[in-house]
């Protein structure tokens, strides 16, 4: 039964056979269970990760439903992590799902991020990403940045000691979210960016991928660009520690 669930993905040469074993022994933490977080969690749970921890303290609103695929009309007003956990468990009973009803901050981040082999960014603001970037570097945890706006978005793997980090290219470290209902976002762009982020995570997990290029995808044009982002030796987060000190 377990093997049968994953037949179509283990038929892919990039996955079989060691990749599936790695997926099934991996622990993932998803920060934010909005549009990207929901879709990333769904892909990784259906692929059979061993454990997923989901983190969010929001409640479900009507304006979420066009893109946040774990939630239904009848869930409006309920906690996102509660509904998401229920849905993820129903999707794949082989996966352990841990729900944390908290907003990530510098006080709780170390304990939360420590529980993952890889951290997934499902957040929607600069401040939360700064917490992930700084804490993940301190813990030497790899994380996948993902962000969507309008019809386009970005994905980047950040691997401490190997790739550049978010701060290396001057990404702002403060600022709250501009609501999606104000700045606008189309659901198909959310799905596309979530898929690229999930694939990037799988590559980091199963083949120790160390490519930290910034991937830009616009689902409307359509257009895809891959941009190298070199490490910044003067970066205030990762610039002072050399690779030799880490490894």
Contact residues: Zn ion, CB under 5 A = 165, 167-168, 235, 237-238
132 vs 235 by CB, closer to Zn ion = 235
Choose among 95, 93, 92, 218: nearest CA to 155.
218
How far apart, in whole angstroms, are the C-alpha atoms of residue 97 and residue 42?
A: 11
What's the min distance (Å) between Cβ of 166 and Zn ion?
A: 7
Minimum gap (Å) between residue 36 Cβ and Zn ion:
22
- What is the spatial distance between Cα 54 and Cα 56, in angstroms, rounded to a whole number? 7
Going 204 to 209 to 214 to 219, the CA torsion angle's sign is: negative
Closest to 242 (Cα-Cα) out of 162, 173, 146:
162
**Smallest distance, Zn ion to C-beta of residue 230, A:** 10
Nearer to Zn ion, 30 or 238 (CB): 238
**Nearer to Zn ion by C-beta: 52 or 235?**
235
Measured distance between the N- and C-terminal CA atoms of the chain, rounded to whole angstroms: 40
Name the residue with the smallest CB distance to Zn ion: 235
Nearer to Zn ion, 26 or 167 (CB): 167
Shortest reach from residue 128's CB to Zn ion, in Å: 17
């Amino acid at each position: 039964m377990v093997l049968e669930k994953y037949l179509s993905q283990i038929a892919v040469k990039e996955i079989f056979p060691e990749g599936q074993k790695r997926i099934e022994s991996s622990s993932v933490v998803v920060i934010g269970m909005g549009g990207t977080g929901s879709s990333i969690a769904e892909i990784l749970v259906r692929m059979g990760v061993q454990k997923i921890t989901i983190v969010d303290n929001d409640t479900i609103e009507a304006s979420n439903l066009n893109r946040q695929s774990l939630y239904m009309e009848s869930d409006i007003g309920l906690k996102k992590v509660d509904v998401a956990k229920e849905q993820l468990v129903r999707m794949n009973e082989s996966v352990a799902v841990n729900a944390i009803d908290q907003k990530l901050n510098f006080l709780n981040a170390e304990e939360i991020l420590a529980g993952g082999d890889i951290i997934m960014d499902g957040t929607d603001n600069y401040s939360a990403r700064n917490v992930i970037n700084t804490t993940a570097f301190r813990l030497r945890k790899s994380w996948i940045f993902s962000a969507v706006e309008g019809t386009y978005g970005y994905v980047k793997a950040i691997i401490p000691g190997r790739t550049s980090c978010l701060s290396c290219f001057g990404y702002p470290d403060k600022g709250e979210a501009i609501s999606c209902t104000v700045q606008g976002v189309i659901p198909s762009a959310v799905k596309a960016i979530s898929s690229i982020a999930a694939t990037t995570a799988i590559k980091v997990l199963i083949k120790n991928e160390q490519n930290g290029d910034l991937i830009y995808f616009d689902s409307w044009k359509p257009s895809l660009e891959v941009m190298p982002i070199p490490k910044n030796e003067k970066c205030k987060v990762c610039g002072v520690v050399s690779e030799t000190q880490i490894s």
